[in-house]
Each structure stands twice: as structure tokens, then as C-alpha cells.
Amino acid sequence: MLIQLEKNCTNSHLKSIVEKLTNAGYKVTRVNTFNQEYLVCIGKTEVDIRIIGNQPGVKDVHIVTDPNPLVSRQWKVKDTEIDLGNGIKISRDDFTIVAGPCAIESEEQVITIVEFLKQQGIQLMRGGIFKPRSSPYSFRGLGIDGLKLFSNHCKANSIKVVTEVMQVSQIDEMYPYTDIFQVGTRNMQNFNLLDALGKVDKPVLLKRGMSATLSELLSSAEYIFSSGNEKIILCERGIRTFEKEYRNTLDLNAIPYLKDKSHLPVFCDPSHGVGVRDYVENMALASVMAGADGVLLEIHKTPEKALSDGHQTLNFDESKKAFKNIRQLVELRKNLVY
């Protein structure tokens, strides 16, 4: 059961509601987000929701049986939209394209890509400044200085910055320069990081762990929401299977499932997902029809010279074609008897 509280719910009202619920056998968790206050009630007991609904301080009561109630569509039938300012909004109709290099490598690289994105009308740029690398001897990113120059050029061009945060201690220093905090696949169950991002008033792009079940992905989103932040984007980015012909196996089945079970926006990362440059556009288009609200694309002026992930990165010509086709397809999607 999920209870939305009135803004002006007094402490004594709250106490009385919680008492009623606890007596009825529920374990009650109080959740206070940047938007509003909730009570998450876990338990198998049955209670007449009208009685709860009539308590002073209660705005609405919902029967939610999902184990992750806050992110469930059972109480919130409409898609969550996220406003990024400057007229940029994450929503199904706006379909979001996030593009950029795997890693921020130099100011020159940033300038070139920002200019290209501007020209193409792309409003969000991705780029790693802390790179999680399997080997300690690989390039680990430019760090906070890279983020500053990344952010400078984006701000000057009204482009939003999407970049990965790897640990709690980085959040504060990254905050002024970041529009969307990305949680990478290896950190999907870094629960301390999720808790900390729940205290931040900026959106979080949560990537599915490379062998995480979808139920676990939703639980990780529930961590962030229950810590206070409702602006969460789920992202499918490929899972591990026995197949060796591509880097990962992009699991597009996840998209209709997540859209069905949760009100959160769902993105897709075909670049990491299939990991083969020639197949990225096809998989991006497929993800649109699977029902995604946005895609992340790795692009680079000269993928061959990229410091990481060049084999899955589109060059500018390929990117242009992909953007154009995606946009045409999104238009068609609006007109389908869906």
C-alpha cells in the first residue's frame, strides 16, 4: 500500500496514521522526496483503504502490490516526465537523444562534438570523466577538470551534461557541472551511491547491471526514490550471455516490460548494448519501436582514434543518418494505433 500525504500533514496526524498502520500489521517507511511525502506500507494484511483515506493528512491511498511500490505504475498510471529546464523535457513524445563520446578526452574534442550536436539539434551530451575500467592500467578519464571544460562548452550552447558518477564523495564536486548523474552498470547495486543520489535534486540515469534482473533494476530505482529523488531514468544497456559475436546482448524485451511495470522513463544504450558500430543504428531504431523514451549514442569525430570504445562509436556521418532516421520513426510512432 502506498499513501500520499498532504503537504500540510501535521506531526500528530502523521503519528496517528502510522500508528493505525502499524497496528494493522504493516511495516511503514516514511519517504520524503523533493516533490511530496509518502508512506510505504509493506505487509500482507488487509485494511479498508477508505478508513485510511479518510484520515486527516492523507491525500491519497493506493493499493500497490509491487515489491517496489514507489516506482510502480500501479499507483501512477501516467508516465513520469522530467523537466531539465531551457525547454528540454524527457518524455515519450519528445523522445530524447543523448549523444557524445565514451570519454571526454580534450577541450578540442568537446568543442568539435558540441558544435556538431548544436548543428544537429541534439540537446543532451554524454561523456565520461570518471571511467570505470576493468584494468587499473587503462585510461581512467580526465576527472573533475575534464568535467569543467565539458560543462563550460555545453552551458554556452544550452546543451545538458550527462556523465557518470562513481562514488558518493564525487557527487558534491560534480554537482555544479552535471545535469544528469549517470549510474553505470557496475554500480547499479552500489546501494550507498543510490542512497546518496536520492538526496540530490537532479535526475539520475540508472543503467541496468550487466547481469541484473529487471526486478533488481526496479529495486535500485526504488532506493533512489525512497531516499528523496523522483527524477529517475531507467536504462537498458545490454546483458551478458554466451554469445561472443557482440560485446553484450542488448535486451530490448526489457523496454516493454519496464514501461508496463513502472511510470519512469526508459532509455536504451545500443552503443554499449550491441557494441558493434555497424549494428548500432538498427538497434537504436528497434528500441524506438520497443517503446523507449530515449537513446544514448556514442559518437566521435574519428572513432578509430577514440581512447576507448571506438569499435562501437558512430562517426559524424553515421550519427547524422541515425538522428534523422530515429526522428522519422518517432513521428511514425506517434501515429500508430499503439
CA separation for the pair 195, 310 (Å, rounded): 33
**247-251 contacts: CB < 8 A, separation 24 or more?**
247/272, 247/274, 247/275, 247/276, 247/312, 248/210, 248/272, 248/273, 248/274, 248/275, 249/273, 249/274, 250/274, 250/283, 250/287
Binder among 100, 265, 273, 303 for its own copies (CB under 8 A): 273
What minimum distance in Å lies between the beta carbon of 311 and its own copies? 14
Binder among 159, 232, 250, 330 for its own copies (CB under 8 A): 250
- 235 in helix, strand or coil? strand
DSSP string covering 242-291, please?
S--SSSSB--TTHHHHHHHHBSS-EEE-HHHHH--HHHHHHHHHHHHHHT
- Interface with its own copies, residue 243, by CB under 8 A: yes
Count of Cβ atoms closer than 10 Å to residue 160 Cβ: 22
Binder among 213, 305, 311, 334 for its own copies (CB under 8 A): 213
In the range 48-107, which residues lie near its own copies by CB under 8 A?
67-68
In the range 281-310, which residues lie near its own copies by CB under 8 A?
282-283, 285-291
Closest CB to its own copies among residues 205, 283: 283
Q: Torsion angle, CA of 73/78/84/88, rounded to 10 degrees?
A: 140
Closest CB to its own copies among residues 93, 278: 278
Distance from the first to the final alpha carbon of the chain: 30
What minimum distance in Å lies between the beta carbon of 130 and its own copies? 9
Binder among 108, 137, 176, 304 for its own copies (CB under 8 A): 137
- Interface with its own copies, residue 255, by CB under 8 A: yes
- Interface with its own copies, residue 201, by CB under 8 A: no
- Interface with its own copies, residue 32, by CB under 8 A: no
| Binding segment toward its own copies, per CB under 8 A, in 2-10, 18-26, 128-136, 306-314 | 128-136
- Interface with its own copies, residue 11, by CB under 8 A: no
What minimum distance in Å lies between the beta carbon of 58 and its own copies? 20
Q: Is 163 exposed, middle or buried (0-12, 13-18, 19+ CB in 10 A)?
A: buried
Count of Cβ atoms closer than 10 Å to residue 18 Cβ: 16
What minimum distance in Å lies between the beta carbon of 157 and its own copies? 26
In the range 139-178, which residues lie near its own copies by CB under 8 A?
166-169
Closest CB to its own copies among residues 25, 56: 25
